[in-house]
Amino acid sequence: MSVENDSEQTIFIKSGAEFHQVAIQKIRYIESDGNYVTFYTTKRSILGRYKISEVLELLPQQYFVRIHRSYIVALKYIDIVKKHCVVIDGNEIPISANYREGFLTMIEGMGK
């Protein structure tokens, strides 16, 4: 579920019995592990019971991209793009072969 404030769009992430309101613009990347995903934000990480495909549908596609079956990244937080990974805040996040060509084509288009 998403909410639009005056300045930023937020989503509610269910973690256990709690719901955490998070600004979409503060999500750096998302990591999936089975039926659980961890949202890594600028301030904290939140574990929720979701499928990564469900999370991808909630996020604006102009800001987020899936680069691996287990990872979604926020474009604005990518520091470096290497051949097999991206670096966000010192963390190397793998790019899988299935997503590499589309992702690299997309970022090359952004550089023009």
Q: What is the pLDDT of residue 108?
A: 85
Q: What is the pLDDT of residue 91?
A: 95
* CA dist list (Å): 50 to 34, 91, 107: 9, 22, 28
The first and second tokens of residue 78, run together, are 């990518």
12-35 pLDDT, tens digit each: 999 999 999 999 999 999 999 999
pLDDT over 90 at 7, yes or no: no
Phi/psi at 55 (5° precision): -65, -45
Phi/psi at 78 (5° precision): -70, 120
27-72 pLDDT, tens digit each: 999 999 999 999 999 999 999 999 999 999 989 988 999 999 999 9
DSSP H or E run through 52: helix 52-58
Q: What residue spans define the domains of the chain?
A: 2-110
The first and second tokens of residue 27, run together, are 């999500």
Asked if residue 48 lies in contact with residue 15, where contact means CB atoms within 8 angstroms, the answer is: yes
DSSP H or E run through 91: strand 91-94
* CA dist list (Å): 89 to 6, 42, 74, 76, 79: 28, 10, 12, 11, 7
Looking at per-residue pLDDT, the higher value among 7 and 45 belongs to 45
Q: What is the pLDDT of residue 41?
A: 96
Fold (CATH) for 2-110: OB fold (Dihydrolipoamide Acetyltransferase, E2P) (2.40.50)
